[in-house]
């Protein structure tokens, strides 16, 4: 199974290299439209290879998705932790009750001997 994983990762890496080599031309990436650029004091345009723009967009999209999913599942994780604490408390209570009810058995067995 590990071998198949390495083959798959190698295949994905090869595809990314081919995409990078096919998209080496320089493109201009503007952060704001030209109409709004006159109001901002910092540089707004970047000259980057096209494959960096493509792969950077994929990475940014993945990061946004991970953060979105983390916050979406917060309630589920909090509920699971609450239930886990409650289960641990109940298990301790059951163990205490079992120990408490088992105390008299030793005295009865001692009388029989």
Per residue in 61-74, pLDDT tens? 999 999 999 999 99
> In the chain, pLDDT over 70 holds for what percent of residues?
88
Which residues, 6+ apart, have CB-to-CB distance to 25 below 8 Å? Answer: 49, 50
Q: Is residue 107 part of a domain?
A: no
Which residues constitute the domain of residue 6?
2-33+40-102
C-alpha dihedral (100, 105, 107, 110), degrees to nearest 10:
-150
- Mean pLDDT in the chain? 87
Identify the band that residue 111 occupies on the pLDDT scale cut at 50, 70 and 90. Answer: low
Question: Is 24 contained in some domain?
Answer: yes
Give the count of domains, the chain. Answer: 1
Q: Decide if pLDDT at 113 tops 60.
A: no
Tell me if 109 is assigned to some domain.
Answer: no
User: Is the residue at 108 inside a domain?
Assistant: no
Return the ∠ at Cα 16 (arms to 10 and 19), rounded to 5°: 145
**Tens digit of pLDDT for each residue in 15-55?**
988 988 888 899 998 888 878 877 877 767 889 999 899 88
């Amino acid at each position: 199974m590990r071998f198949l994983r390495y083959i798959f990762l190698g295949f994905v890496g090869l595809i990314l290299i081919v995409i990078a080599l096919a998209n080496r031309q320089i493109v201009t990436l503007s952060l704001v439209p030209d109409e709004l650029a006159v109001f901002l004091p910092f540089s707004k345009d970047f000259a980057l290879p096209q494959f960096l723009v493509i792969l950077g967009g994929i990475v940014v999209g993945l990061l946004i998705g991970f953060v979105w999913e983390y916050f979406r599942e917060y309630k589920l994780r909090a509920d699971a932790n609450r239930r886990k604490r409650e289960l641990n408390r109940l298990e301790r209570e059951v163990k205490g009750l079992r120990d408490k009810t088992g105390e008299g058995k030793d005295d009865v067995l001692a009388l029989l001997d």
